[in-house]
Chains A and B, each alone.
Chain A
Amino acid sequence: MYQLTDVTKLYAKGRHTVPAVRDLTLRIGDGEWLAVQGRTGHGKSTLLNLLGGLDRPTSGSIQLDGKDLARFSESQVTRLRARSIGFIFQTFNLVPTLTAAENVETALIPVGIGAGERRRLVDAALDSVGLADRSRHLPGELSGGQQQRTAIARALVKEPKVLLADEPTGNLDEDTRDEIINLLEKLWRERGLTLILVTHDSAIAQRAQRIGVMSQGRLNLGAPAVRPDSDG
């Protein structure tokens, strides 16, 4: 469970200080799916970076399961990311020289799992995203949708508690977008993930349990139009 209290993140821009996130207080429950929308430059990605420990707040606290990330040392945050947080990026961010399987394996390297167990977990992860037959392909040999599936497998292979997705369908066509979102939703359901998804796409946001809109660094939370656990 995330508990953000009075979180502010300021950036220096020349002589001025620009607030990317302002006085944000937010609770995200375990297994919750929160969609974050907003215009470019209003703090969506900054919020995601703060939640993932990639950045530190200027003030306030970000607690994950009662531990304040803002007070963690760099190595503690790194360990936390290695074990508990999965990332999915808009541009997939696969290592171009590694095969799909090896890209997925990169997520297990810092966890310290043996090679045999790593192979088993990688095969299972690729199978879960429907890419078992593409494991030896390089990213350049995969379509955009397949690359994002690989990135999802990489994010989930270590079975994290939290999945942070930064516009995961931003670079995909409509059919592939639906395919990826369906996959994410399926995995979220099956694994009980806490999913925080940044998107410009309202259709995708509508599928989350909650929607937050970032504007001028402030998050305005609203109720979801469609709840995954509802009929409609």
Chain B
Amino acid sequence: MFFLTYLRRELRRRMRQAIFIALGLALGIGLVVTVTAASTGVKKAQAEVLKSLYGVGTDITVTGKAPKPLAPGSGPPRGGQTFQVGPGGAQVCTNGKCHSAAGQTIDHLGSDSYGPISQSEVAAIAKLSHVKAVAGGLTLTDTSIKLPKNFGQPGGSFPTPSSFTVQGVDTSHLSLGPVSSGTMTSGRSLRGTDSTANVAVVDSGYAKAHKLKVGSTVRIMKHNFTVIGIVRQPQSGSPPQVYIPLTRAQALGTAFGGKSLKNDVNTIYVTADSAANIPAVQREIEDILPNDTVTSAASLANQVTGSLSSTSRLANDLGKWLSIVVLIAAFALACLLTIAAVARRVREFGTLKALGWPTRRIVAQVMGESLVIGIVGGAAGVGIGFAGAAIISAVAPELSATIPGSTGPRVVSGGPGGPSARAFGPALSHTVAVPMSASVTVAALVAAVVLAIIGGLLAGSFGSWRITRLRPADALAKVA
């Protein structure tokens, strides 16, 4: 076909220039693909973190308002354990009652991260329009402190607390909440008939660390819970370690002030009937529970801090603008070089017009040449993009994400015992390590192809504009 022969020969003649233009486009497109891949990787990491917190299918999470932290000099909290060293020796105070601590083991199941929300509010949320499903949950921490016999005596040992996170799961709504994001590796998950049973599903990481398997027992508040299943979950969000039926968690847990959690939850998981209605549902819930924290996936993502968040901003802001600038420069370069090439070929195009070639046929020839350069540049750009993504994955350090309002141990100074007083309970935030992996998506590849075609067509259009204005008599007069 003459069109292709002419095109091939012309590109071969201008090989160096064609390669130069293609490389410019490749650089721009490669950068776009790399930045998109990095951004996608960061988003995936964020999604992984959020998914592990929310569970699959949860659009909105409501958490009870966190109780005020202990103020220095205030009395012992009724719902927590404190121990203090005073004139009467070491004492442990549970729910405000203090007694000698030596040799005792104290156990506490509660949360000072999230305040209680009445379970009736779950029903109220379920009645809202655009709400598809609702489940309440209790996010708690079981803290166990074994006090040595010589505790409080001169030279006595200091106790070491151990704790694990416990999630009370509404067994009638198992599709919502953190447990839904896991995969059962052995045994079974909780089910509706387990609502009052002392059964537990254990996170695989926790089970491995504590040599637990199906049939083992987990002790919570002096009650043995039989492990009925092991679940593997994304670890990036520090998932709960033990899942028990909500009713049992309510019966055993206490709120920060010592109040029983019976008929209370501290987390509510909500699914809207469509993504478009999430903001409206969020607003309605905020009206019902004005003192509590209503968080959508989007707003929680904004609260994630740490290097993951910084990298996300870097990819979205600097990376995006850098890509745009390089792309514009590459397009401009391609356009200028194409115009220059057309200017050098004025005699050729004038001759073709004299031979009776319609302008559109000459334009098609130039557009074809530009398009091929664009496609070659796009292909090279995709290669550069893959290479860039591979380099990022290979050399990028592990990122960290600091997630607000999740559970974990913390140590708080203060209390009536003065500086030596300690309280153990859940933390308000925690930091998790997130592996950074840049992945090139199909969408990025499609974008690269589209950009390549746009770049080629744009350059060709500028060249063609010159051709359409070319009068054959003028073109031939330049060389006559």
A residues apposed to B, CB below 8 Å: 45, 49, 52, 54-55, 75, 78-83, 85, 87, 89-91, 93, 95-98, 102, 105-107, 109-111, 115, 154, 166
Q: Name the residue of chain A whose CB is nearest to the CB of B360.
A: A75
Bound complex: CA A97 to CA B10 (Å) = 6
Contact of A98 among B9, B358, B359, B471 (CB under 8 A): B9
Q: Given known contacts A55-B473, A110-B355, A111-B356, is B480 in contact with A97 (CB within 8 Å)?
A: no
Q: Is the CB of B6 within 8 A of A97?
A: yes
Q: Is the CB of B13 within 8 A of A54?
A: no
A142 smallest CB distance to B (angstroms): 16
Q: Is the CB of A110 within 8 A of B361?
A: yes
Q: Which residues of B contact A106 (CB under 8 A)?
A: 352, 355, 357
Q: Which residues of A contact B361 (CB under 8 A)?
A: 109-110
Q: Is the CB of A109 within 8 A of B12?
A: no
Q: Which residues of A contact B352 (CB under 8 A)?
A: 95, 106
Contact of B355 among A91, A98, A154 (CB under 8 A): A154
A85 smallest CB distance to B (angstroms): 8
Q: Name the residue of chain B whose CB is nearest to the CB of A46.
A: B473
The total of Cβ contacts below 8 Å across the A-B interface reads: 81
- Between A and B, 11 residue pairs with Cβ closer than 8 Å are A78-B353, A82-B355, A89-B476, A97-B13, A98-B5, A102-B2, A105-B2, A110-B358, A110-B361, A115-B2, A154-B355
Q: Given known contacts A54-B476, A78-B353, A95-B348, is B358 in contact with A102 (CB within 8 Å)?
A: no
B205 within 8 A of A: no
B15 smallest CB distance to A (angstroms): 11
Q: Name the residue of chain B whose CB is nearest to the CB of A111.
A: B356
Q: Name the residue of chain A whose CB is nearest to the CB of B354.
A: A87
Please encode chain B, from 1 to 39, with 1 for each CB lying within 8 Å of some chain A CB and 0 for all others.
Answer: 110011001101100000000000000000000000000
Bound complex: CA A82 to CA B477 (Å) = 20
Q: Given known contacts A55-B473, A91-B479, is B356 in contact with A98 (CB within 8 Å)?
A: no
Please encode chain B, from 319 to 355, with 1 for each CB lying within 8 Å of some chain A CB and 0 for all others.
Answer: 0000000000000000000000000000110111111
Bound complex: CA A30 to CA B361 (Å) = 31
B residues apposed to A, CB below 8 Å: 1-2, 5-6, 9-10, 12-13, 347-348, 350-359, 361, 471-473, 476-477, 479-480
Q: Is the CB of B356 within 8 A of A82?
A: yes
Q: Given known contacts A98-B6, A102-B5, A166-B480, is B358 in contact with A49 (CB within 8 Å)?
A: no
Q: Is the CB of A45 within 8 A of B356?
A: no
Q: Given known contacts A54-B473, A102-B2, is B356 in contact with A79 (CB within 8 Å)?
A: yes
Q: Is the CB of A45 within 8 A of B477?
A: yes
B319 smallest CB distance to A (angstroms): 41
| Cβ-closest 9 pairs across A and B | A82-B356, A97-B9, A55-B473, A93-B351, A81-B356, A110-B356, A54-B473, A49-B473, A97-B13
Q: Given known contacts A97-B9, A97-B13, is B480 in contact with A78 (CB within 8 Å)?
A: no
A218 smallest CB distance to B (angstroms): 20
Q: Name the residue of chain B whose CB is nearest to the CB of A45.
A: B480
Q: Is the CB of B358 within 8 A of A52?
A: no
B354 smallest CB distance to A (angstroms): 5
Q: Which residues of B contact A90 (CB under 8 A)?
A: 480
Bound complex: CA A97 to CA B345 (Å) = 12
Q: Is the CB of B355 within 8 A of A83?
A: no
Q: Is the CB of B354 within 8 A of A81?
A: yes
Q: Is the CB of B358 within 8 A of A78?
A: yes
Contact of B12 among A79, A80, A97 (CB under 8 A): A97
Q: Name the residue of chain B whose CB is nearest to the CB of A170.
A: B480
Bound complex: CA A85 to CA B356 (Å) = 9
Bound complex: CA A89 to CA B1 (Å) = 27
Q: Name the residue of chain A whose CB is nearest to the CB of B477.
A: A45
A104 smallest CB distance to B (angstroms): 11
Bound complex: CA A166 to CA B351 (Å) = 13
Q: Given known contacts A45-B477, A89-B476, is B355 in contact with A96 (CB within 8 Å)?
A: no
Bound complex: CA A91 to CA B350 (Å) = 13
Bound complex: CA A90 to CA B347 (Å) = 12
Q: Given known contacts A45-B477, A75-B358, A110-B355, is B347 in contact with A93 (CB within 8 Å)?
A: yes
**Which of B1, B476, B477 has the most chain A CB atoms inside 10 A of its CB?**
B476
Q: Which residues of B contact A107 (CB under 8 A)?
A: 355-356
Q: Which residues of A contact B476 (CB under 8 A)?
A: 49, 54, 89, 93
A115 smallest CB distance to B (angstroms): 8
Q: Is the CB of A96 within 8 A of B13?
A: yes
Q: Name the residue of chain A whose CB is nearest to the CB of B10.
A: A97
Q: Name the residue of chain A whose CB is nearest to the CB of B7.
A: A97
Bound complex: CA A90 to CA B359 (Å) = 24
Q: Given known contacts A95-B348, A97-B6, is B355 in contact with A81 (CB within 8 Å)?
A: yes
A75 smallest CB distance to B (angstroms): 7
Bound complex: CA A54 to CA B13 (Å) = 28
Q: Which residues of B contact A85 (CB under 8 A)?
A: 356
Q: Given known contacts A105-B2, A166-B480, is B355 in contact with A89 (CB within 8 Å)?
A: no
A41 smallest CB distance to B (angstroms): 11
B242 smallest CB distance to A (angstroms): 76
Q: Which residues of B contact A83 (CB under 8 A)?
A: 356
Q: Which residues of B contact A109 (CB under 8 A)?
A: 2, 357, 361
Bound complex: CA A82 to CA B476 (Å) = 17
Q: Which residues of B contact A49 (CB under 8 A)?
A: 473, 476
B162 smallest CB distance to A (angstroms): 80
Q: Name the residue of chain A whose CB is nearest to the CB of B479.
A: A91
Q: Name the residue of chain B whose CB is nearest to the CB of A154.
A: B355
**Besides the contacts A78-B356, A95-B6, what 12 more A-B pairs have beta carbons closer than 8 Å?**
A49-B473, A78-B359, A79-B356, A81-B354, A81-B356, A83-B356, A89-B476, A91-B480, A97-B6, A98-B5, A102-B2, A109-B361
Q: Name the residue of chain A whose CB is nearest to the CB of B3.
A: A109
